[in-house]
Chains A and B, each alone.
Chain A
Amino acid sequence: MSSITPKKYRRNLMELKRDYQLWVMIIPAIVVVIIFNYIPMYGIQLAFRDYDFSRGLAGGAWRGLHYFSQFINNYQFWDLMRNTVIISITTIVLGFPAPIILALILNQVKWFRTKKLLQTIVYMPHFISIVVMVGLLNVLLSPNTGILGQLISKLGDTDINLLASTNSFVPVFVISDIWQHAGWNSIIYLAALSTVSPSLYDAAKIDGANKWKMILHIDIPALVPTIIILFILSMGNVLGTGFEKVFLMQNSLNLPVSEVISTYVYKIGILSNQFSYSSAIGLFNTVINFFFLVTMNWISKRNSEISLW
């Protein structure tokens, strides 16, 4: 590197001497991230190669786009895409506004203790594990013995098994997701609302605004930057629909609507050892996610000057 003059070199050396303790503190983290996050990125090559046990992540014969076309021509391709997109989009469309609405409601509660109690309760489900959450759904929704399952079949006058029907998989998935996480996700919006100056409300009151108008013209605008950032982030995950919950909720009866890309990757890759093929499917998924994220960020940057980078 000829561009580094002796002077520059000396300066770098001095800086290193000055900052060596900082480097000591951050290097373990860097090493772990390189090994466990960046080396797998290097291993993405596997999607374009045949996996060769003896030669590791990047040693097999080059196959180009072979595994991608195998996936796209697979008879399951459109089902997988449709299921993944339906579950993700429904989760976003219904699940994204829920914590915002919840925060707007909680923000109206002026009694300190009541508000704290409500917050404690609505945050709590967030800490339940996914296995317990799905277990909870199973015992509560069971058509024979579950209290909710019985209630619903009484109301609807049908003998529907919510856990095993292709029609109810998405609603059960999304509603339980909202139940579990809307409270927790509302924290960030409540934090944003707490920064609104009280004088704005006073001024609005003098102008004759009622509480509805205050929510509409003060609270919601105050949330917009937070909403946009969180929305972009959630778009980046549009096809990344949580493997674990879908996987645990799957059964042979709801499989036609519950098989998504991530569960398929698991089955093809881990269970039947088709490493290259499932790497290609996984990469396909990652690239679409990344594309959504970049696009949303670009749109947001153009229209509101708010962006992740």
Chain B
Amino acid sequence: MQATTIHKRSTGEILFDISIIILCVLIFLIVAYPLYFVIIASVSDQTLVSTGKVTLFPRGVSFFGYEQIFQDMRIWIGYKNTVIYTVLGTLFNLLLTIPAAYTLSRQEFRARRFLMFFFVFTLFFNGGLIPTYILMKDLSLTNSMWVFIIPFAVNVFNLIIARTFFEASLPKEIYESASLDGCTHFKFFFYIAIPLSKSVISVIALYYLVAHWNDFFTGLIYIHSNDLQPLQIILRDILLSNQVFSQGGGSGGSAGGYAQQFADQVKYGVIIVSTLPILIVYPFIQKYFEKGVMIGSIKG
């Protein structure tokens, strides 16, 4: 694999390289194939899918599943709710996390060690489900959209990642020289810290965004009204409780029947429709991930 091979490579080395290649191909297939299969299965004739005849390319192409999905009001309501919760929630997350991380990164700030402990402690110890639930009830957050947005606006892992980044990219000296020229923390934060930290802010925004998009727990525990349910709860009804068709026909899920055949196509389609937004954002921002995780890990 080296560009210049001066010595002849030994058999052992060649065998090693070959086994690495085989392993990589295997890993690729194991991870990629199920994802690919869902795509081709969602547009294939389900009789062929269920008899194992669809393996590499879609066969008997039909968009019945997608037609059903686009006619289904539940999905649109869930989509709309989740988009609202995700956008507002992520904005609120950033509004709280990024300034707090900046503060924790300033070494002259004396309360920083204590406040760091104050935040990190919540990672290891918590009140548990029931006290939290009762609190939400007492605050009238249950069955309201705010329960998706306000509680847990600060994720401590993300806070640490942002803080570590600020520490590394904005050393004390920069602020000191800026403050000699009369720069306040507010100005420094808005005009220097934020523009210099776009990469880490976008990574953290993505972490929050994905977490909101995939949030199932909040809907399950705190929401009763159908109109407020996020997409993930609707997905559970369709994918797991087998309430595939909103207009009856096929719900109840007697396996093997005529309706069940179409039900599976709807399910494959729903998996794609619900995951698509994330998969679209993902490639654009993927190059930042590694950086983001690395930054967070170097100094705990």
Chain A interface (Cβ < 8 Å from any Cβ of B): 15, 19, 21-23, 25-26, 28-30, 32-33, 35-44, 46, 51, 56-57, 102, 105-106, 108-111, 114, 118, 120-125, 127-132, 134-136, 138-140, 142, 144-145, 147-148, 150-151, 179, 183, 187-188, 190-192, 210-212, 226, 229, 236, 243-244, 248, 262, 265-266, 269-270, 275, 278-279, 282-283, 285-286, 289-290, 293, 308
Contact flag A191-B286 (CB < 8 Å), given A25-B189, A36-B135: no
From A126, which residue of chain B is reached at the shortest CB distance? Answer: B210
CB of A190 within 8 A of CB of B290, answer yes
- Asked whether any CB of chain A lies closer than 8 Å to the CB of B35, the reply is yes
A290 to B127, CA, bound (A): 12
Min CB distance, B111 to chain A, in Å? 8
For B12-40 the 0/1 string (1 means CB < 8 A from A) is 11001000100110011011101101100
How far is it, in angstroms, between the C-alpha of A295 and the C-alpha of B203 when the chains are bound? 33
Q: With A110-B2, A226-B297 in contact, is A28–B126 under 8 Å at CB?
A: no
Contact between A130 and B214, CB atoms less than 8 A apart: yes
How far does the alpha carbon of A46 sit from the alpha carbon of B270 in the complex, in Å? 41
Which of A29, A129, A244 is B213 in contact with, Cβ under 8 Å? A129
Most buried by B among A25, A243, A285: A25
* Contact pick for A121, options B32, B154, B261, B274, CB 8 Å: B32
B174 at the interface (CB under 8 A from A): no
Least Cβ distance of A168 to chain B in Å?
A: 17
Q: When A25-B99, A25-B100, A131-B236 are in contact, do A124 and B282 touch as well, CB less than 8 Å?
A: yes
**Residues in B neighbouring A132, C-beta threshold 8 A:** 235, 239, 271, 274-275
Contact pick for B127, options A29, A37, A210, CB 8 Å: A37
Check if B131 sits within 8 Å of A44, measured CB to CB.
yes
Interface: B45 (CB within 8 A): no
Which of these, B27, B50, B97, B103, contacts A118 with CB under 8 Å?
B27
| B60: interface (CB < 8 Å) | no
Is B258 part of the contact surface with A, judged by Cβ < 8 Å? no
Q: 8 closest A-B pairs (Cβ-Cβ)?
A: A40-B127, A43-B131, A135-B239, A282-B128, A25-B99, A129-B214, A29-B100, A145-B50
A147 in contact with B20 given A32-B150, A42-B127, A269-B130 (CB within 8 Å): no
**B12–A40 contact, CB under 8 A?**
no
Chain B residues contacting A283 (CB-CB under 8 Å) are 128
Q: Which of B68-76, B83-91, B114-122 contacts A (4 or more CB under 8 A)?
A: B114-122
Interface residues of B (CB under 8 A from A): 1-2, 10, 12-13, 16, 20, 23-24, 27-28, 30-32, 34-35, 37-38, 41, 46, 49-50, 52, 54-55, 95-97, 99-100, 102-104, 106, 108-110, 115, 118-119, 122, 124-135, 138, 150-154, 159, 184-186, 189, 210, 213-214, 216-217, 221, 232, 235-236, 238-240, 255-256, 260-261, 264, 267-268, 270-271, 274-275, 278-279, 282-283, 286, 289-290, 293-294, 297, 300
Which B residues lie within 8 Å of A286 (CB)? Answer: 125-126, 128
Knowing A29-B154, A121-B32, A248-B240 are in contact, say whether A40-B96 is a contact too (CB < 8 A): no
Contacts of B41 in A (CB 8 A): 139, 147
Known: A125-B35, A140-B34. A25 touches B134 (CB 8 A): no
Min Cβ gap A118→B in Å is 6
Interface centre among A32, A128, A131, A275 (most CB of B within 10 A): A131
Residue of B nearest to A12 (CB): B110
* Contact, CB under 8 Å: A37 / B122: yes
The secondary structure that dominates the B interface is: helix
CA separation between A5 and B32, bound complex, in Å? 67
> A270 contacts B134, CB within 8 Å?
no
- CB of B275 within 8 A of CB of A129, answer yes
Instruction: Give bound CA distance, A124 to B1, whole Å.
Output: 27
What are 21 A-B pairs at a CB distance below 8 A? A22-B185, A28-B95, A29-B100, A35-B135, A37-B127, A38-B122, A40-B131, A43-B130, A109-B24, A125-B35, A130-B216, A131-B214, A135-B267, A151-B52, A179-B30, A183-B31, A211-B13, A265-B129, A265-B130, A266-B129, A266-B221
- Whether A244 pairs with B31 at a CB distance below 8 angstroms is no
User: Assuming the A-B contacts A43-B131, A129-B216, are A105 and B20 also in contact, with contact meaning beta carbons closer than 8 angstroms in the complex?
Assistant: yes
Our pick among A108, A192, A269, A290 for the contact of B125 (Cβ within 8 Å) is: A290
**Given the complex of chains A and B, what is the CA–CA distance between A117 and B266 in angstroms?**
30
Most A CB atoms within 10 A — which of B127, B256, B261, B286?
Answer: B127
Check A138/B127 contact, CB under 8 A, given A22-B103, A25-B102, A25-B185: no
> Which interface residue of A111, A124, A270 has the most chain B CB atoms within 10 A?
A124
CB neighbours (8 Å) of A210 from chain B are: 10, 12-13, 16
Provide the bound-state CA to CA distance between A151 and B100, in Å: 52
Q: Are A111 and B239 in contact (CB under 8 A)?
A: no
Q: A25: nearest residue on chain B (CB-CB)?
A: B99
Residues of A within 8 A of B154 (CB): 29, 32-33
Do the beta carbons of B135 and A243 come within 8 Å of each other?
no
Q: Which of A43, A136, A145, A244 contacts B38 (CB 8 A)?
A: A136
A139 near B267: Cβ-Cβ < 8 Å? yes
Report how far A124 CA is from B30 CA in the complex, Å: 12
- Give bound CA distance, A23 to B159, whole Å: 16
Given A40-B131, A57-B138, A192-B297, 20 other A-B residues pairs in contact with their CB atoms under 8 A: A25-B100, A36-B135, A36-B151, A37-B122, A37-B152, A40-B126, A40-B128, A43-B132, A102-B27, A114-B24, A120-B286, A122-B31, A129-B232, A134-B239, A135-B271, A136-B34, A138-B239, A139-B239, A179-B30, A191-B293
